[in-house]
Chains A and B, each alone.
Chain A
Amino acid sequence: MKRRILGPVVAVAVVLALAACGSAKSNEGTNSGAGGKLVVWDWKSSDKNAQNFVAKAKADFAKKHPGVTVDFVAQPFDNYYTLLGAAIQAGKGPDVMLFNGGGQIRDRATALLPLDQYVAPDKDRLAGWDAFSKDGKIYAAPITLQGHPIYYNKTIYRKAGLDTEKPPATWDALLSGCATIKQAAGVPCFALGNKEGYGIQFWMSGMGSCILTPDEYDKWIAGTRDWNSPNVKKIFATWKEANDKGLNTAGPNSTAMFMDMYTKFEGGKAANVIGLMSDVGGWHEMNPILGANNLGVMACPVVTPGAVPSLAFDGGVGYGVAKWTKDPAVAADLVRSLTSTEALTAYATDAGAIASDKTVTIAGGGPAAAVIAAAIPSGKPALHVALSAKTQDVMGRVSQQLLSGSITVDAGMKQLAAADQAG
């Protein structure tokens, strides 16, 4: 019997050893993208509210390349980057693909074609390029802007006797305002869902400009991040303080951000939420539920004297071109069609997004969208988008441990510093 068990073990050991020796076959250089056909991967094109956008982009592209057909393949978002990873590994797949800005595209930049020479004419018309750039090269053209405004429910503020047009402007005012709201309206200040560890990202970017000084903020975005600085530590200390002082809805670690957190805010179970400004989790969804006139957007409350509140936003999602595509110029033309003013107007209107195109105005977004639009010119890139996917992952876990009290802020900062330096 011993021998029978030993047999397979030896066999496996031999297989492993052989595999180790024959390691490292290069798998680059294969080609796809049949002539006359472009394949686009995204997670939006099958949505009803994206149909108009797709049709407009296709029509624009057909004018430039009448002989080339375009196939949109909508993948489920949960598995999007898993599928994309497999395609990248195989060195074949779609010619054009949709990316979230920041870490998701930067980590995969080696599989993408630099687009600088193709999108140069669009550079001034569109905003949000930074989130799709790495080492000075552009890898995708943005179609939306995504940011983290702090929404508030004016009905609850009114119930608590607070001025609905003058939400708390400092941290102390916020703390006392939240106490009033809890007493008068019986709900906490913030709806929070941190089950996936996204809550801290929204806190960092929604509150960041009020915690870091403008100089620290710009350095952070430029890549000089001092995790030992007292103000950076304050981002996490206030995160913990807010929870300890009962500012958050119950069980943030077991509440999903999408969509439980937003459902709580929209259901009047919390007075504020740090949300998004495009697609989901923002004014487009909240307006019909709360009433456009009852939804406000406030500047973050100043924590550090000298900090200047600004809206944190970046390029939201954008289309890039795979390195393996047959004719890069044609694929890049498709990207330009996807970011044409006509297509983006259709997308912004139907899906409720802030388009990357500065010439597209938001129609029918109510007061909330108007405040966001007004804040864009003075806005800055979001703090968390500058972090690598790995650091964001560690930050998610640290944030959960901070909420549950199983780690101190200092210990958390140490982990984050190590992750950021390694990544």
Chain B
Amino acid sequence: MQSVRSAWAGRTDGTAVTSPRPLGEGQPASRRKRPGADRLAPYVLIAPAVLIIVVLRLWPLVLGVNFSFTGDGDRNGTPVGVSNYLELFRDPVFRIALRNVGLLVLLLPVAVAIPGLLATFIFLRVPGHRLFRSVYFFPAVLSPVIIGAIFNLLLSADGPLNALLGAVGLEPVDWLGEPKLAIFTVVAVHIWATFGMALVVFLAGFATLDTTLLDAARSDGASTPQVIWHVIIPGLSRTIQFVFVTTMIGMLTSMFGLLFVMTAGGPGGSTYLPEYYIWIQQGQMNRPALASAASTVLFLVMLVVGLAQVGLLRRSLRED
């Protein structure tokens, strides 16, 4: 600003003697104001963003948490303390939902390893790698409802997969109807449906790999497994961590569609996740306050998981 003003002043210097004077008078005044304005400016500039976050995110969050301490039905609007939370943790279905979250965390390495391994094969140029690259990504563009409907048909008790099993002399399996099996079936379908995105991230990571290291390893006589273990994995550590974080978020937040279409939480409540529980309590059971309590618990779980992952990422960035 200063430089602009002096350039303008310089240009007018010779022609008009009077014009710099008002400017000169103004300058001390604006200089006097500036400390206050300068201090305010950043706040004014970030105000829209902060307001949006506060009004549309934090305030509803506070309202929701507040609501979870009130009753449902006849006790609508009256404070009930933590009784919603006590009811939640006494409800076997909610406990199953939380246990399933734990199960998802445990299955995370599998969900990351599959795209990682397939990307490695594509990177190592197995025959047909160009075809696989596009084929693998294809499911990622389908909506969970369509995927769920397709697999409902494929996996139904009298469906094609069981016909195939029957053809080789095996007993049919009710993939979505067995309480112990259903959650694994749904997770497997979810991984199938979403690994394409992780695969692309892995391939991008491979592009940054130092090929001279690979060549050096090969000329030193390293086998393929040795190349993968000692060169590729260490070189991709940041990519792997990123895929871990995004896959975790995907698993915890976008399984609803699949669950809704494939199992409806069943059989016997074995495939409930917190999101689905919240939806059922709010919509079907007319228990909005209980649903708010469940949402608060889910929020806290996500917060812990999210912060742990942010910490992990930050540490890895520092290493670099």
Complex Cα gap A8–B58 (Å): 13
Contact A28 B77 (CB under 8 A): yes
Which of A107, A254, A398, A403 has its CB near the most chain B CB atoms (within 10 A)?
Answer: A254
Q: Does A37 reach chain B (CB closer than 8 Å)? A: no
Q: Which of B62, B74, B303 lies in contact with A8, CB distance below 8 A?
A: B303
Stretch at the interface among B32-40, B65-73, B117-125: B65-73
Q: Mark B49-90, 1 if CB is under 8 A from A, else 0.
A: 000000000100110011001100110111100000000000
Contact A24 B263 (CB under 8 A): no
Tell me how far the C-beta of A187 lies from the nearest C-beta in chain B, rounded to whole angstroms. Answer: 11
With A18-B62, A254-B177 as known contacts, state yes or no: A389 contacts B286, CB within 8 Å: yes
Chain B residue at minimum C-beta to C-beta distance from A398: B268
Q: Does A250 reach chain B (CB closer than 8 Å)? A: yes
Stretch at the interface among A9-17, A45-53, A160-168: A9-17
Chain B residue at minimum C-beta to C-beta distance from A388: B285
Complex Cα gap A393–B284 (Å): 9
How many chain B residues sit at the interface, stated as a range, is 35 or more
Complex Cα gap A354–B65 (Å): 45
Q: Does B239 reach chain A (CB closer than 8 Å)? A: no
Complex Cα gap A22–B182 (Å): 42
Chain A residues whose C-beta falls within 8 Å of the C-beta of B257 in the assembled complex: none
Interface residues of B in 225-283 (CB under 8 A from A): 263-264, 266-269, 279-280, 282-283
Tell me how far the C-beta of B261 lies from the nearest C-beta in chain A, rounded to whole angstroms. Answer: 9
Contact B65 A389 (CB under 8 A): no
How many chain A residues sit at the interface, stated as a range, is 35 or more
With A28-B77, A251-B158, A393-B285 as known contacts, state yes or no: A400 contacts B267, CB within 8 Å: yes
Q: Does B157 reach chain A (CB closer than 8 Å)? A: yes
Q: Does A27 reach chain B (CB closer than 8 Å)? A: yes
Contact B307 A9 (CB under 8 A): yes
Interface residues of A in 208-259 (CB under 8 A from B): 249-256
With A9-B307, A89-B288 as known contacts, state yes or no: A110 contacts B74, CB within 8 Å: yes
Q: Does B198 reach chain A (CB closer than 8 Å)? A: no
Overall SS of chain A's interface: helix
Complex Cα gap A389–B286 (Å): 9
Contact B282 A85 (CB under 8 A): yes
Q: Which of A16, A24, A406 lies in contact with B179, CB distance below 8 A?
A: A406
With A28-B77, A195-B266, A397-B269 as known contacts, state yes or no: A254 contacts B176, CB within 8 Å: yes
Overall SS of chain B's interface: helix
Chain A residue at minimum C-beta to C-beta distance from B172: A250
With A85-B286, A107-B286 as known contacts, state yes or no: A255 contacts B157, CB within 8 Å: yes
Contact B176 A253 (CB under 8 A): yes
Tell me how far the C-beta of A229 lies from the nearest C-beta in chain B, rounded to whole angstroms. Answer: 24
Complex Cα gap A25–B67 (Å): 8
Chain A residues whose C-beta falls within 8 Å of the C-beta of B279 in the assembled complex: 82
Q: Does A26 reach chain B (CB closer than 8 Å)? A: yes
Chain B residues whose C-beta falls within 8 Å of the C-beta of A18 in the assembled complex: 62
Q: Mark B102-141, 1 if CB is under 8 A from A, else 0.
A: 0000000000000000000000000000000000000000
Contact A401 B179 (CB under 8 A): yes
Q: Mark B133-157, 1 if CB is under 8 A from A, else 0.
A: 0000000000000000000100111
Complex Cα gap A15–B60 (Å): 12
Q: Does B215 reach chain A (CB closer than 8 Å)? A: no
Q: Does A142 reach chain B (CB closer than 8 Å)? A: no
Contact B69 A19 (CB under 8 A): yes
Chain B residues whose C-beta falls within 8 Å of the C-beta of A390 in the assembled complex: 285
Q: Does B5 reach chain A (CB closer than 8 Å)? A: no
With A251-B177, A254-B263, A401-B267 as known contacts, state yes or no: A23 contacts B73, CB within 8 Å: no
Contact B69 A24 (CB under 8 A): yes
Contact A389 B177 (CB under 8 A): no
Tell me how far the C-beta of B124 lies from the nearest C-beta in chain A, rounded to whole angstroms. Answer: 37
Tell me how far the C-beta of B88 lies from the nearest C-beta in chain A, rounded to whole angstroms. Answer: 14
- For the complex of A and B, 3 pairs with smallest distance between CB atoms: A251-B157, A253-B177, A82-B283
- Identify 12 residue pairs between A and B in the complex whose beta-carbon atoms are under 8 Å apart, listed by A's number: A5-B310, A15-B65, A19-B66, A23-B69, A82-B279, A108-B286, A110-B74, A195-B177, A195-B263, A256-B152, A401-B268, A404-B267
Contact residues of B with A, CB < 8 Å? 58, 61-62, 65-66, 69-70, 73-74, 76-79, 93, 152, 155-158, 172, 174-180, 182, 263-264, 266-269, 279-280, 282-286, 288, 296, 300, 303, 307, 310-311, 314-315
With contacts A15-B65, A85-B283, A407-B268 known, what are 14 further pairs, Cβ within 8 A?
A: A9-B307, A15-B58, A23-B69, A24-B78, A25-B66, A26-B77, A27-B76, A28-B77, A82-B282, A195-B177, A250-B157, A254-B175, A256-B264, A404-B177
